Amino acid sequence: MTAADGPLDWGCYPMAPFAGRIRNGRFRYAGREHQLTRNLPPHAIHGTVYDQPWKVEHAERTDAVLVTELGHDWPFAGRVIHRVRVRDDAVELRLEVWADDESFPASCGWHPWWRRRLGRGEALALDLDAGAMWARDDDGIPSGDLEPPSEGPWDDCFTDLAGPPVLRWEGAIEVTVESTCMDVVVFDEPSHAMCVEPQTGPPDALRLTPVVVEPGLPLVAEATFSWKVLA
């Protein structure tokens, strides 16, 4: 993972209560229009919790539970619970998006950055077997249509996955990205890093494929990043 150059350019941060871009930072729910902070003008991107402080509710040597409120940049009261478990050969993650007293649409996911090259110069390759990708319009945001996957470079969302994405540094290590999420965004345009992001829906999901979170009925996503050393 790469060192941080900005608030969105680090580690493996959780995205909630939406993942990816929201067109013009606007969405409609229950007859009301809502305007979000346009933190990637003219759009909103990656939710409201990636740069917020989190409270540690539980911590052991290999397990932690973190909690944060959705904050003033989200028009509904709620919270996110992030559970992290570390094994010898994997990291297990679980995101829960909870509504306090009023339902709202949501999506969520993770945004891991992976280095293109390791210390000995091993280059990163990606195995991705997807049946379709979300077509992007002139704004670079899914239009709602699906199309056959194209050749990279990508800043695109893929779906109908035949198996989990696999990142491979030949002769060094292989990482498999297993998730309950139906979509994965691949951003491989930077020369120094690649992002492979499990998401419960595509960018602009609050319009295209919203999941309604109700009090007592959270949106839940799980992901496991497992690795093995290559001979």
CATH number for the domain whose boundaries are 12-229: 2.70.98.10
Nearest residue to 223 (alpha-carbon basis) of 103, 83, 104: 83
- For 8, the 3-state DSSP assignment is coil
- For 218, the 3-state DSSP assignment is coil
Q: What percent of the chain has pLDDT over 90?
A: 91
Q: Using 50, 70 and 90 to split pLDDT, how confident is the model at 231?
A: confident
What's the rounded mean pLDDT across residues 179-186?
Answer: 98
Q: Using 50, 70 and 90 to split pLDDT, how confident is the model at 179?
A: very high
Per-residue model confidence (pLDDT) at position 3: 45
Q: Using 50, 70 and 90 to split pLDDT, how confident is the model at 5?
A: low
Q: Is the pLDDT of residue 221 over 70?
A: yes
Q: What is the pTM of this model?
A: 0.94
Radius of gyration, CA atoms only, the chain: 17
- The residues near 157 (Cβ < 8 Å, ≥ 6 apart) are 20, 133, 134, 142, 183, 184, 185, 199, 202, 203
Per-residue model confidence (pLDDT) at position 120: 81
Domain boundaries, the chain: 12-229
pLDDT tens, position by position, 42-81: 999 999 999 999 999 999 999 999 999 999 999 999 999 9
- Considering the chain, what is the average pLDDT of its residues? 95
pLDDT tens, position by position, 10-49: 899 999 999 999 999 999 999 999 999 999 999 999 999 9
Q: Is the pLDDT of residue 2 over 60?
A: no
What end-to-end distance do the CA atoms of the chain give, in Å? 22
> Do residues 10 and 111 make contact, with C-beta atoms less than 8 angstroms apart?
no
* Cα–Cα distance, 167 to 126 (Å, whole number): 5
In which region does residue 48 sit, left (phi positive, over 0), alpha (psi from -120 to 50) or beta (all else)? alpha
pLDDT tens, position by position, 94-129: 999 999 999 999 999 999 999 999 988 789 999 999
* Cα–Cα distance, 109 to 89 (Å, whole number): 21
* Cα–Cα distance, 49 to 134 (Å, whole number): 25
Torsion angle (degrees, nearest 10) of CA 67, 71, 77, 80? -20
**64 strand-pairing partners:** 59, 84
Q: Is the pLDDT of residue 1 over 50?
A: no
Distance (Å) of CA 108 to CA 18, 197, 230: 5, 10, 32
Q: Is the pLDDT of residue 209 over 70?
A: yes
